[in-house]
Amino acid sequence: MPALDPAQGNKRTAPTSRRPNVPGYNPMNWRRYWLVLGALLLLNIVITSIIESATQAPSVTIPYNVFIAQVDAGNVLNITATGDSIIGTAKAAVSAGSGQPSAKTFSTQRPTFASDNLEAALLKNKVSILAEPPNPPPPLWETLLLGFGPSLLLVFGLIYLMRRSAALAGGGAGGILGRFGQSNARLYNAERPDTTFADVAGIDEVKAELVEIVDFLKKPEKYQRLGGTVPKGVLLIGAPGTGKTLLARAVAGEAAVPFFSISAAEFIEAIVGVGAARVRDLFQKARSAAPAIVFIDELDAVGRSRSTGARLGGNEEQEQTLNQILTEMDGFDPQQGVIVLAATNRADVLDAALLRPGRFDRRVTVPFPDRRGRLEILKIHTRHIPLGPDVDLGLSASLTAGMVGADLRNLANEAALAAARRDASVVAQIDFTNALEKVELGSERKLSLSAMDRERIAYHEAGHALLGLLQPGADPVRRVSIIPRGQSLGATVQSPVDDRFNYGEDYLRGRITGALGGRAAEQLVYGVVTTGAESDLRQVTAIARQMVVRYGMSPRVGVLSLADDDNAGQSLTLSRPYSEATAAIVDEEVRRISEECLRQGVALLTSNRDKLDALVHALLEHDTLEEAAILAVTGLTAPEPVPATVS
């Protein structure tokens, strides 16, 4: 059961490298070998052509009638016939005509229609006649040179590279296969770091956790004189895009030490034992470059718990790799100055041996940034973007609740691209608004909708928006649109004034009621519902089920948590930690909550039908309405935010 995502509560959309720097590996060896091989082959062709041209006497081509005249004159000594082609030698030099070059060796072509008695003429003038097959075999030396020469070069070249690779790798694994045991870690230049803590924003508490690591790498004697040791490993835990890799590179940049970066998936190979060899190679390089940082991204690729049966195939290779990581971290000398940083978004599936003290001693959770953090992140990503005077990054930060650093970087880039498409010199607030809709919903689609379809979509979105205004404590409605984007035919955007970290039952019920606003409006106006509420119903079901099984908000189920988070992701078969009778009660309670919220939504829209119709008419006229226009059309005021409960 996924946890309730604050981001989903803050916005609602309608339904509708470089080469590895590895000791012993030099790519120039391969390039030099292929260059030498190509040069030798080219030299072979040139020498062959020179030899053939040098062994042949100067020759001229003469017409056939000139050849017959030379035979009749007794000037021909011998000829060699190959089919209809004739090559011969004359007693005196011959030429094709006046002013043409002459030579004693000549060639000509006998026409196929010739009816002369050539053989009799040749015999009469005592010309020596030799005949050769039309396709004679090449000479033996040419066959040997062209047939075996390249193969011998390849064989000797591979033998050379294998011996050199074995020598550089210390003889391990032997020959070129030893390359499999070398890690593909990227080594970033410590002299010119491209990332520092100045490039990280929105997660100040996490940066504070890592300052001690940087301080130790810069001034290890400060801690060693008091007998203290810095953690051997720091595990960064967080959702994708929260900045785990960025933080690791910032630590290396601040400490100005070598930074070895590799993904855990790169350890795994089809050959058993290669992963462990790559781990040994990586840590050996880090020790030789100490003080240094080793960063392993996506640690869960090899660090999954060995006690679970959820791993299919490659178990032996993954376990050997994991065991080697554990061994290497156990063998660290605190005086060496090598620290392991790792990142994962699945800390729940990691092996317990990785998390014990002495390996990954410190675990740092990288959270979603709050509104202040999102503002700081947007400032970083817009440093090189010319902003217009109307741009309010604070508003954009408020509208992007639930977004992580990677999302905000993409948002800033999309806003710049939107401004470029309209040939603007600066990025305006409308560009950020359009970019946000594109990121969340997709690109605008040009659909030919009928008047009836547009009206249904308008009522659906107006139902969402109006219930957002009528319910106390609901998140403010920022925008409503009936422009099709991505898979949706319209959108209603809500976001809170401040981020919420705790949710009351009334707020969750209001979320469900608002999500059912489109279905309630269709039911009220047309008496027939459509498929447009598909994503709304998924959201409603998820919230209502979590209220029952996770938050204890059902009187029949009681104050119990029935969510089985401890075994999440560790079993191939879904199991519920409660009986079938309890499951039936859970289903009934989920249905009860959703139906009560739907009835409440229909009642609110019924008593405010005039406001619903006015909002629909405005939408059909303008397609998109901002918050101020929505309040003006309906005559309502934004509801006062209800403080989140504190437990």
Q: How far is residue 176's CA from residue 180's CA, in Å, rounded to a whole number?
A: 8
SS (H, E, C) 585-619: HHHHHHHHHHHHHHHHHHHHHHHCHHHHHHHHHHH
Task: Kindly report the number of other CB atoms within 10 A of residue 362's CB atom.
Answer: 17
Helix segments in 91-198, DSSP class H: 118-124, 140-168
Q: How far is residue 114's CA from residue 111's CA, in Å, rounded to a whole number?
A: 5
* Cα angle 132-137-139, degrees, rounded to a multiple of 5: 110
DSSP state of 178: G
Would you state the structure tokens that stand for residue 53, as one six-digit string? 């041209």
Q: Say if residues 451 and 443 touch (Cβ distance below 8 Å).
A: no
> Residue 402: left if φ>0, alpha if ψ -120 to 50, beta else—which one?
left
Q: How far is residue 517's CA from residue 409's CA, in Å, rounded to a whole number?
A: 33
Q: How far is residue 283's CA from residue 505's CA, in Å, rounded to a whole number?
A: 51
Closest CA to 529 of 15, 148, 172: 15
The string over 512-525, giving b where at least 16 C-beta atoms fall within 10 Å of a residue's C-beta and e elsewhere, is: bbbbbbbbbbbbbb
Residue type, 570: Q
Would you state the structure tokens that stand for residue 516, as one six-digit string? 């059912």
Q: Is 461 marked active-site?
A: yes
Task: Kindly report the number of other CB atoms within 10 A of residue 82's CB atom.
Answer: 14
* Cα angle 133-134-138, degrees, rounded to a multiple of 5: 80
Q: Say if residues 570 and 561 touch (Cβ distance below 8 Å).
A: no
- DSSP string for 404-416: -HHHHHHHHHHHH
**Three-state SS at 56:** coil
* Cα angle 72-78-80, degrees, rounded to a multiple of 5: 115
Q: How far is residue 138's CA from residue 99's CA, in Å, rounded to a whole number?
A: 36
Q: Which one from 461, 522, 588, 621 is the annotated catalytic residue? A: 461
Would you state the structure tokens that stand for residue 520, as one six-digit string? 């309630």
Closest CA to 34 of 45, 24, 22, 42: 42
CA 391 to chain centre: 31
Q: Say if residues 20 and 184 touch (Cβ distance below 8 Å).
A: yes
Tallying the residues shown for the chain, one arrives at 647
What residues are labeled active site?
461
